[in-house]
Amino acid sequence: GAGVSQSPRYKVAKRGQDVALRCDPISGHVSLFWYQQALGQGPEFLTYFQNEAQLDKSGLPSDRFFAERPEGSVSTLKIQRTQQEDSAVYLCASSGQLRTGRGKLFFGSGTQLSVL
Amino acid sequence: GESVGLHLPTLSVQEGDNSIINCAYSNSASDYFIWYKQESGKGPQFIIDIRSNMDKRQGQRVTVLLNKTVKHLSLQIAATQPGDSAVYFCAENINGNKLVFGAGTILRVKS
């Protein structure tokens, strides 16, 4: 596709439910990032993939958060046993460069997660 | 209007005037900086970037200035238009694998 695509656009979950958020990066982009954006704040880094390898997951807030990119293209962010503090917009970004220092990130429109 | 929890600084400018948005970054070792624009309901959109070996970089209607001495970044928008209304974030590159975003500034353009 022409840009980064994320689905679903909106997700409402009851506390304790598991959710899966999907990201389709720009075709051919080797780097993929997940960010979490709370209302009124800047995006916060969650995790980074280079192709299928998850090279940095230092931003994942707890072991309830899990991300994968098994074939080096589509990525899924899974949140288990959702809690109200997980409510946020989850942004996916991709880059054609191996490191962010050599290229800009292209962001999707995000998935807005609301945990009730 | 603003929602509860939204406490971003706001800059209001008249259409046609120049805008200057400021940002203080945290890490003196950061070597790459980017300005992003985020409209409501959308992801951040790249505006302009600058590396730490530069002081100034110009794009179309935008200029980024970097002052490493005081760890300060600014974005100048010339002849501000209504379509420039958005939240603007600066971001710094740390260790090459991730960007750290600032809190953001709301730009409101009055017609």
CB burial readout A10-20, b (16+ within 10 A) else e: ebebeeeeebe
Of B5, B8, B44, the CB nearest to A107: B44
Is A109 in contact with B42 (Cβ distance < 8 A)? yes
SS3 content of chain A, % helix, strand, coil (to 5): 5, 45, 45
Q: Over the stretch B10-35, which tens digit does the pLDDT of each residue have?
A: 999 999 999 999 999 988 888 899 99
User: A108 and A8 in contact (C-beta within 8 Å)?
Assistant: no
Of B7, B34, B36, the CB nearest to A40: B7
Side chain identity at B49, as an amino acid letter?
Answer: D
Residue A6 has pLDDT above 90, yes or no: yes
For the beta carbon of residue A8, count every other beta carbon within 10 angstroms. 13
For A53, residues 6+ apart whose C-beta sits below 8 A from its C-beta are none
Question: Domain map of chain A by residue range?
Answer: 5-115
Is B98 in contact with A33 (Cβ distance < 8 A)? yes
Whole-angstrom Cα distance, residue A68 to residue A13?
Answer: 21
Q: Over the stretch A45-66, which tens digit does the pLDDT of each residue have?
A: 999 999 999 999 999 999 999 9
Give the mean pLDDT of A81-92. 97
Is the CB of residue B1 less than 8 Å away from at least one CB of chain A?
no
For the beta carbon of residue A59, count every other beta carbon within 10 angstroms. 17
**Ordered domains of chain B (ranges, CATH):** 12-110 (2.60.40.10)
What share of chain A in percent tops pLDDT 70? 93
Closest Cα in chain B, distance from residue A39 (Å)? 7
Averaging pLDDT over each range in B19-33, B52-66, B90-104, which range is the top one? B52-66
CATH number (3.40.50.300, 3.20.20.70, 3.40.47.10, 2.60.40.10) of A5-115 reads 2.60.40.10
